[in-house]
Amino acid sequence: MSTDELQRVHAWWCAANYLSVGQIYLLDNPLLTEPLEPEHIKPRLLGHWGTTPGLNFLYAHLNRVIKARELNVLPIIGPGHGGPGLVANTWLEGSYSELYPEVARNADGMRRLFRQFSFPGGIPSHCAPDVPGSIHEGGELGYSLAHAFGAAFDNPELIVACLVGDGEAETGPLATAWHSNKFLNPRTDGVVLPILHLNGYKIANPTVLARIPRAELESLLTGYGWRPHFVAGDEPWSMHAQMAMTLARVLDEIAAIRERARGAGAVVRPRWPMIVLDSPKGWTGPKTVDGVQIEGTWRAHQVPLAEVRTNPAHLRLLEQWMRSYRPQELFDSGGAPRAHLLELAPRAERRMGSSPYANGGAHPPPLELPAVAPFAVPVERPGETSAEATRVLGQWLREVLRINAAARNFRLLGPDETASNRLDAVFEVTNRTWVAESVPGDDHLSADGRVMEVLSEHQCQGWLEGYLLTGRHGLFNCYEAFIHIVDSMFNQHAKWLEAARRIPWRRSIPALNILLSSHVWRQDHNGFSHQDPGFIDVVVNKKAEVVRVYLPPDANTLLCVAEHCLRSRDRVNVVVAGKNSEPQWLGMEAATRHCEAGIGILEFASNDGDGSPEVVFACAGDVPTLEALAAVDLLRQHLPDLKVRVVNVVDLMTLQPHEEHPRGLSASEFDALFTTDRPIIFAYHGYPWLIHRLTYRRTNHANLHVRGYKEEGSTTTPFDMVVRNDLDRFHLVIDVIDRVPGLGYRAAHLRQLMRDKLAQHHDYIIRTGEDLPEVRDWMWQSRPASERASQ
């Protein structure tokens, strides 16, 4: 690197550091044209300095190589608390002011830039969606590397430069993410360049990786399959020289790997390079404050000078610190960055803050969706045919994968359960992504497979998020109980979507689709640990516009829901569907209508033709629907005059008031379905309290009685699972008898019969180990309403 270039990189770094400190501290006097006074200082000092100089150092050096080599680089900043750094760099390169013209590249813009940071009405402290070029907020640490890989998959021209905090590297998700290199196809995917930011500290502690011998760290990273390059020190000029040399070497290695991989022959896993940036935390900041060392310690993590407004010594230190970057040499008198510095910035979309990859993707091909009708299960009469819902879905997904194969814009992810969840038809057209070793007998592994299976729900979720945030599509399938592992990642992604919706320049991104199968009611063989439907409760905490929960009762409704989900954008769709053979209720046409409405009366099961039901049965979920219909069947046999309406809920959000959720029913619609005064027995898939939460404002809420999972589970028979939770047909019939006014004494015999059935069930399963034949072989007996009406 020439001296000129070196000086330019250094000037950029100084400017970015200056602008970062300015954001943390200053309300006014941005160019320090006058001596710093307490009134120039923000009343509340918020932000994180410690990680920022390292981030700025990397950004400056990346600029140089992007320009020299015409690279497409997407930055991902693991320690997203370095937000002021990313904002500073994107302002310097011009991306920021193009999106926020009022924050122009002049003195007034700089004043606004400083003032708005972590300030009411301004911008957040982290690399939130507000920040140009960011797809990763980095507020909750641990997901940077998984996001980086997700962005790199199927983006062959892209290099994702991922700064990983050394504290962040202690998290489970990050520790596993190093293994993502076994899933990256060097022929058709982009490159991830991890830069481990070894600044030695977290908030108040040293980091593990900084306190093991260097050889051990090197072995660890080598063991993960990387070739680590170290850039270590604190003397700026030596560090610039090292970083420039290392980047050159690393990029040469990457170019050589790509060339090899993109030639003929089999794809072999390369040893990708990575960088370890060992530099002081809070580098170039105050060395000591009040006699205590700051630079190079954990004390530099947040705001190194805390009393700038009230302590004149601190104020002086801040001024010295800021002036140490020589602002007058970096910015002209009007506040614009000087020309020699600007020359370092790449042009147009190569600027990292203007990367199209970070804003909806670089022209990703649209996802083509095949029609669902050809995959429908024929349903001549409700309940007559049986099917495995997810197996039917798998056949449609196979078609999705087939017709989008050339576009390379769809991936199916899961923690080793795609076949177990019965989606294995997809393996007729693709394989599991695998760039590690294979041996004969391996099943459907290949470097270009589009099904990604790794036993880390964190990686599945993180990869998919990165893939979606760069404009492509996917579906994550998971056992219902273990999706809780990514509760927090879901939260963070939903927050990103919520925030991004309010940012006009952010393009929309495809929805995050989560299919939960092997669910609570059919995990009887795996037992209690595998029984937990609580993810739905987590999901509905989020803002209405970004979440949907679907509980299709059978295969055709699952197909309709899946098609809708894969089309949708800017939200998280959670679909819960069983994989076992179950009766099918709705033909394709009826299923389509039902799913469009999201909720509706099951006409075939209702006998309240005159519109005056004595009881409303509601059901949501495949097994609860089955039990509700079996209960209706019993009522029809034993109390044929009782008028029952059956309402099935596919889209859980319809239950919320219209004012709370765009899919919510209006008060009159809800009252029409559920009546204002009849008992409602609600058989629900998950924890019953959620239904109360969603409906507490409805007129008839006082009459609503919900059955669901109440944490009663074990390794037992399928039917015993519902019995233990009082969700079975016999309990549901008793609920009706107990709640319909006047039915109690009329139906006393039936009530007793139900009790007897429960006792009989219990004895039978203890004796035989399986469910009563009348339960196992139960079929919907009632005739269609049309036949009944014609009598």
DSSP one-letter code for 711: S
Between 174 and 447, CB nearer to ligand TPP: 174
Between 485 and 634, CB nearer to ligand TPP: 485
Asked if 286 contacts 272 with a C-beta cutoff of 8 angstroms, the reply is no
Which residues touch 84 (CB under 8 Å, ≥6 apart)? 19, 20, 23, 24, 47, 48, 52, 117, 125
What HEC string does 111-170 produce? HHHHHHECCCCCECCCCCCCCCCCCCCCCCCCCHHHHHHHHHCCCCCEEEEEEEECCHHH
Q: Least distance from C-beta 174 to Mg ion, angstroms?
A: 12
Which residues touch 677 (CB under 8 Å, ≥6 apart)? 700, 703
**Sequence letter at residue 181:** N
Q: Least distance from C-beta 285 to Mg ion, angstroms?
A: 14
142 binds, among ligand TPP, Mg ion, none (CB under 5 to 8 A by kind): ligand TPP
295 binds, among Mg ion, ligand TPP, none (CB under 5 to 8 A by kind): none
Q: Least distance from C-beta 405 to ligand TPP, angstroms?
A: 37
Between 208 and 436, CB nearer to ligand TPP: 208
User: Which one among 199, 518, 607, 717 touches Mg ion, defined by CB under 5 A?
Assistant: 199
3-class DSSP state of 75: strand
603 binds, among ligand TPP, Mg ion, none (CB under 5 to 8 A by kind): none
Q: Which two tokens stand for residue 277?
A: 């940036």
Task: Determine if 399 is a binding residue for Mg ion (CB under 5 A).
Answer: no
End-to-end CA distance of the chain: 93
3-class DSSP state of 203: coil
**Which has the closest alpha carbon to 598: 537, 524, 648?**
648
Q: Least distance from C-beta 207 to Mg ion, angstroms?
A: 5
Q: Least distance from C-beta 67 to ligand TPP, angstroms?
A: 26
Q: Least distance from C-beta 166 to ligand TPP, angstroms?
A: 4
Q: Least distance from C-beta 735 to Mg ion, angstroms?
A: 57
d(CA 585, CA 624): 13
140 binds, among ligand TPP, Mg ion, none (CB under 5 to 8 A by kind): ligand TPP
Task: Determine if 144 is a binding residue for Mg ion (CB under 5 A).
Answer: no
50 binds, among ligand TPP, Mg ion, none (CB under 5 to 8 A by kind): ligand TPP
81 binds, among ligand TPP, Mg ion, none (CB under 5 to 8 A by kind): ligand TPP
Between 280 and 664, CB nearer to ligand TPP: 280
466 binds, among Mg ion, ligand TPP, none (CB under 5 to 8 A by kind): none
Q: Which residue is nearest to ligand TPP (CB)?
A: 165
Q: Which residue has the tokens 């969706």?
A: 369
Do β-strands 615-620 and 680-684 pair in parallel, antiparallel, or remain unpaired? parallel
How far are the Cα atoms of 159, 191, 262, 530, 593 from residue 446, in angstroms, in the given order? 23, 18, 16, 30, 40
Residues that bind ligand TPP (CB under 6 A): 50-51, 79, 81, 140-142, 165-168, 171, 197, 199, 201-203, 207, 281, 301
Q: Least distance from C-beta 209 to ligand TPP, angstroms?
A: 9
Spell out the alpha helix ranges (H) of 448-519: 457-469, 487-501
203 binds, among ligand TPP, Mg ion, none (CB under 5 to 8 A by kind): ligand TPP
d(CA 553, CA 551): 6
Q: Which stretch binds Mg ion (CB under 5 A): 199-207, 240-248, 295-303, 456-464?
A: 199-207
Q: Least distance from C-beta 80 to ligand TPP, angstroms?
A: 8
757 binds, among ligand TPP, Mg ion, none (CB under 5 to 8 A by kind): none
Which residues touch 377 (CB under 8 Å, ≥6 apart)? 385, 387, 392, 554, 555, 556, 584
Q: Least distance from C-beta 172 to ligand TPP, angstroms?
A: 10
141 binds, among ligand TPP, Mg ion, none (CB under 5 to 8 A by kind): ligand TPP
d(CA 171, CA 207): 11
Q: Least distance from C-beta 175 to ligand TPP, angstroms?
A: 12
Of residues 644 through 673, those in contact with Mg ion by CB under 5 A are none
84 binds, among Mg ion, ligand TPP, none (CB under 5 to 8 A by kind): none
Between 181 and 199, CB nearer to ligand TPP: 199
**Which has the closest alpha carbon to 30: 382, 311, 328, 403?**
328
Asked if 490 contacts 205 with a C-beta cutoff of 8 angstroms, the reply is no
Between 197 and 698, CB nearer to ligand TPP: 197
Between 200 and 713, CB nearer to Mg ion: 200
Between 52 and 573, CB nearer to ligand TPP: 52
Between 146 and 750, CB nearer to ligand TPP: 146
Of residues 309 through 328, those in contact with Mg ion by CB under 5 A are none
729 binds, among Mg ion, ligand TPP, none (CB under 5 to 8 A by kind): none
3-class DSSP state of 759: helix
d(CA 322, CA 9): 18
Estimate the share of the chain in helix, then strand, then coil, as percent rounded to the nearest 5.
Answer: 45, 15, 40
Between 51 and 607, CB nearer to ligand TPP: 51
Between 133 and 165, CB nearer to Mg ion: 165
236 binds, among ligand TPP, Mg ion, none (CB under 5 to 8 A by kind): none
Number of neighbours of residue 339 by Cβ within 10 angstroms = 8
25 binds, among ligand TPP, Mg ion, none (CB under 5 to 8 A by kind): none
Site string for Mg ion, 153-192 (x = CB under 5 A): ------------xxx-------------------------
Between 199 and 557, CB nearer to Mg ion: 199
Between 209 and 615, CB nearer to ligand TPP: 209
Between 51 and 176, CB nearer to ligand TPP: 51
How far are the Cα atoms of 85, 333, 758 from residue 772, in angstroms, in the given order? 66, 87, 10
d(CA 397, CA 411): 10
Task: Determine if 54 is a binding residue for Mg ion (CB under 5 A).
Answer: no
Which residues touch 130 (CB under 8 Å, ≥6 apart)? 123, 124, 499, 503
63 binds, among ligand TPP, Mg ion, none (CB under 5 to 8 A by kind): none
Between 172 and 527, CB nearer to ligand TPP: 172
d(CA 192, CA 703): 57
**Sequence letter at residue 586:** L
d(CA 78, CA 167): 10
Q: Least distance from C-beta 456 to Mg ion, angstroms?
A: 23
- Which residues make up the interface to Mg ion (CB under 5 A)? 165-167, 199
